[in-house]
Amino acid sequence: MSNTVNVTINNMPVKVAPGTTILEAASKLEIRIPTLCHFKLDTFDFEHRTGSCRICVVEVDGKQNLAPACCTPVHEGMNVKTNTIRVINARRTILDLILSDHPKECLTCEQNGSCQLQDLAAEMGLNKIRYAGKTSTYKIDLANEAIVRDMNKCIMCRKCEVACNEIQTVGVLSGVNRGFNATVGTVSNRPLSDTKCVFCGQCVAACPVGALSAMNRSYDVWVALNNPKKKVVVQTAPAVRAALGEEFDFEPGTSVTGKMAHALRLLGFDAVFDTDFAADLTIMEETTELIERVKANKNLPLLTSCCPGWVKFFEHQFPDLLHIPSSAKSPQQMFGAMAKTYYAKKIGIDPSDLIVVSVMPCLAKKYEASREEFSREGVRDVDIVISTRELAGMIKEAGILFKNLEDQDFDNPLGESTGASVIFGSSGGVLEAALRTAADWLTGEDLEAVDYEPVRGLSGIREATVKVAGMDLKVAVTSGLGNARKLLEKIQKGEADYTAIEIMACPGGCLNGGGQPFIHGDTSILDKRRDAIYAEDKGKPIRKSHKNPDIIKLYDEFLKEPGSELAHKLLHTKYITRDNT
């Protein structure tokens, strides 16, 4: 059997492997075929082909019926036409029918400017609705702090369902009803807050329209900034600086840390801090816990707990393993706790008069900040969480010329950070940061080797054995909850002998969070964001968390030592068993 197939597309010959789809073959000739439902993520070796939207139809061998290019495999001698009048009319009719049952509120839609349906309508020159008639009406789900679900905008591409069920294996979303009433829903049409949704936001990232969007809190930030009775501070997560520039026409992979700090000051924040400081603090607590477990050979493997989507996932689906995740809070919540105690005391302000705003790449961080255990006496540790996209919107709304800004530094004492903290934004970064500190503490030396490259990367499950102080520490790193499920099932069956496992809910880690600028399937952007993160790490004068002078000062002045009674009270948490229906 030949290992190539000869195909002709628009009178141009091309050789491709058997099993190649028409869409893939056309891309080799740089022929663009429009799609809506096609879902492909090259970095994660994932592709879902449904052909449900039919926007990608083409003529094949002159047959009467048009074929969906995304899921039709080529055959020897196939003759494809992608641009005949019949194909163009069919695509326009399909798009007209989709638009006939779609709200016309583009100007006020969260997805305005990043909507693939909007782009297709413009590309095809559709400037009026040809098929006016009955439209669907659904109640908008606003019952949580992270995600808005507006099925009035659903076009039944089912990408969200694929992200939720096949990539993340959470199992919340499913196609319901038939015909005109078909949509994607939850069991018994419950709000997301009443399901096992983990608010990772991968459904939002997958949605080509505005049926799923982030709960926008930027107006709440404006209100806070204009309240003279409140002091408003902001923290920014490591992954934000590697992606924010894309919203201002910087090349993907451009780190804009200094410009971001400057822009935040211009927006009116009283102090601009770095979540990286709290990432260093997380390493102090989490690594202390890891070493204690290794020495006691108990409750291994330790699972990292920085990702709230991942935390909620195991609370719902693996309650029998609640004893092995680290009890350390995430950097976001550690920062909030330190801001409302240590920092508030330093500046002589009541915690209730201090508003902490977080800029995060992740929609689950919005949910995390609302968890009951992350507040004391009615005062939340983190008051408002906005995404990278929301921050970009605020900067634009304020008329700030971001590209022209000079670089500025973060404020202190909660702004100093190390290279170990900035790599938290990429899959593998948390574990590598922990290994840098664990190696020094276990050997009692200041080791020069700090790069643990085997744990780096974006795809799949990565394993490594790291020799530290004469011990072999077997570690694993994974991102995407589908991969996390595989590891947890191995642990349940007693088939895993890892020392530590880093898990992030979003494929690729925080760089690919649901609040980041949309990549629309172009996973090469994630590689560039990752490179920016590690370049910043390389450029830091200090690359180990326990060497951060402000972290040392924090323990000397306030917390005393890692794992102390006060540290456990403010920086650690407990997990609960949640309903899995």
**Active-site positions?**
286, 289, 306, 326, 365, 368, 373, 510
Q: Within 13 Å and on the Cβ side, how many CA atoms surround 372?
A: 3
Cis before 252? omega within 30: no
Residue 577: left (phi > 0), alpha (psi -120 to 50), or beta? Answer: beta
Residue 295 contacts by C-beta under 8 Å, 6 or more apart in sequence? none
CB atoms within 10 A of CB 331: 28
In 382-397, which positions are buried (b, 16+ CB within 10 angstroms) versus exposed (e)? bbbbbbbbbbbbbbee
Q: Which candidate, 210, 512, 257, places its Cα nearest to that of 362?
A: 512
DSSP one-letter string for 41-67: EGGGTEEE----S-TTEEEETT-SS-E
Give the pairing of strands 174-176 and 183-185: antiparallel
Residue 389 contacts by C-beta under 8 Å, 6 or more apart in sequence? 214, 247, 515, 516, 517
Residues β-bridged to residue 12: 9
Contact present, 151 and 136 (Cβ < 8 Å): yes
- Give the chain's largest Cα–Cα span: 79
Residue 88 contacts by C-beta under 8 Å, 6 or more apart in sequence? none
Q: Distance between CA 199 and CA 204 in Å, rounded? A: 9
User: Which tokens in the block code for residue 125?
Assistant: 């020159």
Q: Please give the sequence-ordered ranges of beta strands (E in DSSP) within 188-325, or none if there are none.
A: 212-214, 231-236, 271-274, 302-303
Contacts 24+ apart (CB under 8 A), 243-246: 243/361, 243/388, 243/511, 243/516, 243/517, 243/529, 244/388, 244/391, 244/392, 244/517, 246/517, 246/525
Which residue's structure tokens are 């016309």?
A: 104
Please report which residue ranges of 101-239 form alpha helices under DSSP H. Answer: 116-123, 159-162, 202-206, 218-225
Q: Which amino acid is at 397?
A: E
Q: Distance between CA 505 and CA 576 in Å, rounded? A: 18
Residue 100 contacts by C-beta under 8 Å, 6 or more apart in sequence? 129, 130, 131, 132, 133, 135
Contact present, 121 and 99 (Cβ < 8 Å): yes
| CA-CA-CA-CA torsion sign (190, 196, 199, 201) | negative
Which residue's structure tokens are 């505005």?
A: 210
CA distances from 335 to 269, 355, 375 (A): 16, 12, 13
